[in-house]
Amino acid sequence: MLSAFIPIWLLTALGYLTARFNLVGAGAADVEAVLGRFVFRVAMPASLFGMLARSDLHALANTSIVAFGVSSLACCGLGLALGTRVFKRDVSNGAVVGMASGYVNSANLGIPVAIQVLGNAVFLSTVILFNTVLVTPIVLTLMGLRGEASPGMRQRLRSIALLPVHNPIIIASALGALVSGTHFHVPADVSSALSLLGGAAVPIALITLGMSLRVDKAAAPVLGEERTKKSLLAETTISIALKTALQPVLAYLLAYYVLDLPAHDVLAVTLCAALPTAQNVFIYASEYALDTVFARNAVIFSTVASMAGLWTVAALLK
């Protein structure tokens, strides 16, 4: 299982060293921003479109994904509530906290872990589908609410309704789902080009994450307000606890006691729920000029904490 984490640490370290030794020039902050926008607006939409176009959307209609989905949405909702009510964030930044608290790294980390522990990544494909079709559009819509101050309820509702239309990830996901639902065959050359482009999303996102460890963001105050280190530490700790502890426990209780799933399915649900926060949280926060410091810390430290959680789940349930 440890081998699944090594590529993540290596690419993150490469990003840090790139900024540390100015391998891309003195404007490392600008490079980081450009790479983040490339991932959000080009590479990730290509990856999600290709994945959904090849997926069977009927896979969402199974009992196991109910246990995982409820645990994920519950932790996301709890993180959002704590972020907005306790730590006094706006809804957009609260959505960053919510996503960090319940959105799992199901692709580049989840797949190798699932293969090692479960023997295959069948359930992981359903988790990826759930995150892409349901969780991502909701979170991105909430993040996009920042700056929406249209006068009048009708205008505000119209602005909110149009937010997904301007988001390349949501657009690509919707098109991919449409292709899957209509059984349209994407030409092989187009599919190959999209696969190559989509393959750049994860490594560049991790390099961008690593660069953010070095780039000085003090000159650009987060959220337009000063947040103390103590407050940020408390918020990060709570988010990591929700993601790496509460979510797998909740998933296990639902799978075992409520839905009475077979032992292997209980293991699959609990293992996937114990995965750490996805690096997508950092990319999305960067795109919307939200709290990237919190997002970065949540991704890195939840990945560290999840190593113990994943080992515990495998040891107790396998």
Position with higher pLDDT, 76 vs 146: 76
> Does domain 2-317 sit in CATH 3.40.50.970?
no
- DSSP-derived letter for residue 26 is S
**How buried is residue 183: exposed, middle or buried, by Cβ count under 10 Å (0-12/13-18/19+)?**
exposed
* Cα(185)–Cα(65) distance, integer angstroms: 27
pLDDT at 91: 93
Do 291 and 223 meet the contact criterion of CB atoms below 8 Å apart? yes
E strand or H helix at 231, and its extent? helix 229-241
Of residues 291, 249, 279, 300, the one with CA closest to residue 87: 291
Across residues 212-223, what is the average pLDDT? 56
pLDDT at 223: 42
Cα-based torsion angle of the residue sequence 241, 244, 246, 250 in order, rounded to the nearest 10 degrees: 170
pLDDT at 63: 92
Do 43 and 197 meet the contact criterion of CB atoms below 8 Å apart? yes
Phi/psi of residue 136, each to 5°? -60, -50
Of residues 36, 42, 4, the one with CA closest to residue 194: 42
Intra-chain end-to-end CA distance of the chain, in Å: 14
* Cα(294)–Cα(266) distance, integer angstroms: 32
Q: Which amino acid, 76? A: C
pLDDT in tens, 163-189: 666 788 889 999 999 999 898 989 999
* Cα(38)–Cα(164) distance, integer angstroms: 18
Write down the H helix ranges in the chain. Answer: 2-20, 28-38, 44-53, 63-81, 91-102, 110-118, 122-130, 136-143, 153-162, 168-182, 188-198, 201-212, 229-241, 247-253, 263-273, 280-287, 292-317
Do 279 and 107 meet the contact criterion of CB atoms below 8 Å apart? no
Tell me the DSSP string of 119-135. Answer: SS-HHHHHHHHHIIIII
Over its C-alpha atoms, the chain yields an Rg (Å, rounded) of: 19
CA angle, 308 then 108 then 17, to 5°: 85
b vs e for 203-213, b when ≥16 Cβ sit within 10 Å of the residue's Cβ? Answer: bbbbbbbbbbb
Q: In the predicted model, is pLDDT for residue 208 greater than 70?
A: yes
Across residues 282-310, what is the average pLDDT? 93
- Percent pLDDT > 70 in the chain is 89
Residue 220's pLDDT band, with cuts at 50, 70 and 90, is: very low
Residue 122's pLDDT band, with cuts at 50, 70 and 90, is: confident
Across residues 52-76, what is the average pLDDT? 91
Q: What is the mean pLDDT of the chain?
A: 87
pLDDT at 218: 38
Of residues 278, 306, 297, 305, the one with CA closest to residue 132: 278
Q: In the predicted model, is pLDDT for residue 21 greater than 70?
A: yes
Position with higher pLDDT, 243 vs 124: 243
Q: In the predicted model, is pLDDT for residue 123 greater than 50?
A: yes
